[in-house]
Amino acid sequence: MLFCGLFIISCDLIKMKEDPKKKASLSDPIARVRDQYLYPEDVEGIAPAGMSKEDSTERVQRFVNNWIHKQLLIQEAATKIEFDEADIERKILDYKYSLMGYEYQAYYVNKNLNTIVSDEEVEKYYEENIDNFVLKQNIVRGKFIKVPRGAPKTKKIKSLLMSQKVDDIEELNSYCLSFATQYQLDDSVWMVFDEVIKNSPLAEIPNKVQFLKNQRFVESSDDQFLYFLKIEEYRISDNVSPLEFVKEDIKNIIINKRKVGLAKQLEEDVYERATKDKSFEIYN
């Protein structure tokens, strides 16, 4: 971001050498900072086609305000320090080439990236890097339901939660869809315990580790709601995370590694082809 800012500021410093009166424009300027002017053609393309008039106006206004702030800064800088214009132009050129290379790498990676990650790859990475997957929070697998105090048949919720019968499971799903304000019924999913009990009386538990070790079902309430929690399994922080909890993270890590590998391979392939074709020389 700093270099990008330098690029933009550098361009503006070069423009400052121009006489604004000599600039060919059929339109009146829309902003001025001392002897620098901003014209309608300078903001063309700022708001893409299809954008609402209100959003388009807001975006242009934001651009104009940023331009004013930037011009004030660089004109202040021009009075305080002496710029090496040749060095600035070299940096602009270097940034331009870096940006072009980056855009092509991004295009190549997106075109060739394999985003399918097998369970075997995930498990292998997990086992080889297991020390990197230490839990920072307590996690649980289970079911959680929050219903208003006035909901019907609340006394039946516990028995439905504890039941393994297909009919009871379906009835509980239907009940939650109709009356629960918050619920999690997929007990195969690992959840951060503090997130599950947030905004409930359970959040005030003084010793959550001890609670998890001793409780498998708890029912609580406040002035407005009833809370039901059934815990199937738990893991305490500072222990190794179960694979299921970090599976998506591992997939993203593997895909990012593939991106880096593709970008690096592209550079090597281009260099190797250029070497064979004698497309470049270094003169001593």
- Six token digits for residue 89: 């132009």
User: Beta-strand (E) ranges in the chain?
Assistant: 31-33, 36-38, 139-148, 182-184, 190-192, 217-221, 225-235
**pLDDT the model gives residue 7:** 44
Per-residue pLDDT at 83: 87
Cβ atoms within 10 Å, residue 202: 19
Q: Quote the CA–CA distance of 213 and 277 in Å, as a whole number.
A: 68
C-beta separation of 126 from 242 below 8 A: no
Please tell me the predicted confidence (pLDDT) of residue 16: 47
- Contact between residue 187 and residue 143 where contact means Cβ atoms under 8 Å apart: yes
- List all residues 6 or more positions away from 84 whose beta carbon is below 8 Å from its beta carbon: none
CA–CA dist 65, 63 (Å, integer): 5
Helix (H, G, I), strand (E, B) or coil at 13: helix
What is residue 47's predicted lDDT score, i.e. its pLDDT? 85
**Beta carbons of 40 and 24 less than 8 angstroms apart:** no
Structure tokens at 57: 């106006």
CA–CA distance, 240 with 134 (Å, rounded to integer): 4
Do the beta carbons of residue 76 and residue 15 sit within 8 Å?
no
Q: What is the largest CA-CA distance in the chain?
A: 88
Q: Which residue has the tokens 């890097």?
A: 129
As a whole number of angstroms, the distance between CA 134 and CA 241 comes to: 6
254 within 8 A of 117, measured Cβ to Cβ: yes
Please report where in the chains the tokens 């400052």 appear, as a residue. Answer: 16
Radius of gyration of the chain from Cα atoms?
31
pTM above 0.85, yes or no: no
**pLDDT per 10-residue tile (average), the chain, 284 residues:** 45 47 68 92 87 91 95 92 91 95 96 97 97 96 96 95 95 97 95 94 93 94 96 96 96 98 96 94 88
Which residues on adjacent β-strands are paired with residue 139?
A: 192, 235
Cα dihedral 181, 186, 189, 193 sign: positive
The per-residue pLDDT for 19 is 45
